Amino acid sequence: MKNSTIWIVDDDASVRTYLSDLLIGQGYGVSCLDSGEQFLRHLDTASRPSLLLLDIRMPMMCGLEVLERINKARLCFPTIVLSADNQTTTVVQAMRLGATDYLVKPIDEKELDTALRRSLCGADGGVQGSSSTSTLFRSSNARMHHVQAICDKAAPINVPILILGESGVGKEVAARYIHSQYNAREPFVKVNCAALPAELLESELFGYERGAYTGAMREKPGKFEIAGRGTIMLDEIAEMSPLLQAKLLHVLQDGEFYRLGGTRALTSQARIVAATNKNLQLMVESGSFREDLYFRLNVISVEIPPLRERREDIPTLCALFVERFRATYNSPVGRLPKPVMDAFMNHHWPGNVRELENAVKRFLILRDLSESIPEGGRANSRRAPAVAVRKTTVVSLKDLAASASDRTERELVFRTLNEVNWNRKAAALRLGICYKSLLNKLHRWQASESGLPAGQEPRETQLLATA
């Protein structure tokens, strides 16, 4: 996560400077923009950010307008909105437009760190966002048709839904599909129950009053308030602590909850969708999950089959991913070559659809990979030493990913070093990695100079000699 690139959009120079210094010190790459208009111009000339920190109140184009533009462009990256006030209506509107979280100024460093980790974890891998809700059900598999039929029937009725399946099968995509059929104009709020310790998760779900605990300098609404009449997805529900399980049961039974430190009962009308890759029945039997909560959540349940049990969907998914990401990565690839598709069809896919999506991305980024796999022959050993493709041999996706990733990383590092005249500290800052990490990479690559980009060996050897 610390190699992520964060864009800060705020008209206040002091806020930009403060956040930039803080995030760079933590190892993030940072770009600072002073307006919504500059953000839109920057989108046309730079690669997409890993995360966006967006001020709500700005002259000319406010943060809510920026969110609307992001939605219209069908872009997908987590956005944390920054607000000088704590008006729940403003926050709900931002969440409805796709914001993943919000922070109230002045920014608390611990709250910022928690929000960044939560948003970046939720963004790792997998297809997300409204533009991908139909991906899951573009299927030729009978079990997937059954899953869609259950979702379609259950979506209009506000009852809890439990989504089961291995990591990467598309549980969040299914939850977003249900939300889009239920009350799409209301917020979709996702909470990862495994990403935060119990005490932070409680305040995240239910909010807190000023003075509820040390450091609570102002009140903050929780995700149940923000969800309103929309959908709250409780991902990794099996990781919730027993105390929080009891409080969630109270919400399901009575539709009420209390902020931390609060005495006023608040009402929740949100649809609850829970998801897990664990066997909750076994957890109930072992006593690690409440039986009464399990039955409350399991009103409607759907289980998404792993990708290896619906291989007929692989070509369709590959075509969708190529179409979706080829422009982002400026790739000339229109379709996957047959040797690669054959390898994909024969792979076990332990990471399911998320792993497949990442494999397609790697292929699109590595523009000359098709030249490394001659038709019916073996891969060029000089350019792809870890890949060997024959008509009777299956490509190792693990080796393919390692070779492609390492070569792409080397090319990016040396290109950046050339751009900054081999100033290693400036290169590390631009790459969004720490200085020591850059030195370690250069030392590792020196051991295999034959794999370096042409013309760089002498310069790198000289560089390492003085490191």
- What is the CATH number for 184? 3.40.50.300
User: Domain check: are 256 and 202 in the same one?
Assistant: yes
Q: Domain tally for the chain? A: 4
How sure is the predictor about 446, in pLDDT bands with cuts at 50, 70 and 90?
A: low
User: Domain check: are 267 and 152 in the same one?
Assistant: yes
Interior CA angle at 192 toward 405 and 146, to 5°? Answer: 85
Give me the pLDDT at residue 86, please. 64
User: Domain check: are 318 and 301 in the same one?
Assistant: no
Residue 452's domain comprises 413-465
Q: Which of 64-78, 110-124, 273-287, 383-397 shows the lowest per-residue confidence on average (mean pLDDT)?
A: 383-397
> How large is the average pLDDT for residues 428-453?
69
User: Domain check: are 209 and 250 in the same one?
Assistant: yes
- What is the CATH number for 26? 3.40.50.2300
Which of 67-81, 310-324, 359-373 is most confident?
310-324
Residues belonging to the chain: 467
User: Domain check: are 87 and 135 in the same one?
Assistant: no
Q: Is residue 242 part of a domain?
A: yes
Helices (H), 183-313: 198-206, 223-227, 242-254, 280-286, 291-297
User: Domain check: are 73 and 103 in the same one?
Assistant: yes
Q: Domain ends where: 64, 91, 123?
A: 123
CA distance linking residue 21 with residue 336, whole number of Å: 43
User: Domain check: are 46 and 188 in the same one?
Assistant: no
Q: Domain ends where: 253, 287, 305?
A: 305
CA distances to 13, 21, 24, 129, 419 from 8, in Å: 11, 11, 12, 21, 24
How sure is the predictor about 131, in pLDDT bands with cuts at 50, 70 and 90?
A: very low
> How large is the average pLDDT for residues 357-376?
62
Instruction: Assess whether pLDDT exceeds 70 at residue 420.
Output: yes
Q: Is residue 401 part of a domain?
A: no
- What percentage of the chain carries pLDDT values higher than 90? 37
Q: What is the pLDDT of residues 206-262, one digit of tens each?
A: 988 888 877 777 788 889 988 888 999 999 999 999 999 999 999 999 999 999 988
User: Domain check: are 172 and 280 in the same one?
Assistant: yes
Question: In this structure, what token pair is assigned to residue 336?
Answer: 């996957």
User: Domain check: are 265 and 380 in the same one?
Assistant: no
Give me the pLDDT at residue 413, please. 84
Q: Is residue 405 part of a domain?
A: no
322 CB neighbour count, 10 Å cutoff: 18
User: Domain check: are 70 and 138 in the same one?
Assistant: no
Of the candidates 7, 82, 14, the one whose C-alpha atom is nearest the C-alpha of residue 38 is: 7
> How large is the average pLDDT for residues 89-94?
80
Give me the pLDDT at residue 127, please. 34
Q: What is the pLDDT of residues 304-333, one digit of tens each?
A: 999 999 999 999 999 998 888 887 777 888
Give me the pLDDT at residue 402, please. 55
Q: Domain ends where: 123, 146, 163?
A: 123
User: Domain check: are 258 and 336 in the same one?
Assistant: no
Q: Is residue 400 part of a domain?
A: no
- What is the CATH number for 365? 1.10.8.60
CA distance linking residue 5 with residue 27, whole number of Å: 10
Q: What is the pLDDT of residues 4-62, one digit of tens each?
A: 899 999 999 999 999 999 999 888 999 999 999 999 998 888 778 989 999 998 988 99
Of the candidates 280, 210, 207, the one whose C-alpha atom is nearest the C-alpha of residue 245 is: 280
User: Domain check: are 295 and 312 in the same one?
Assistant: no
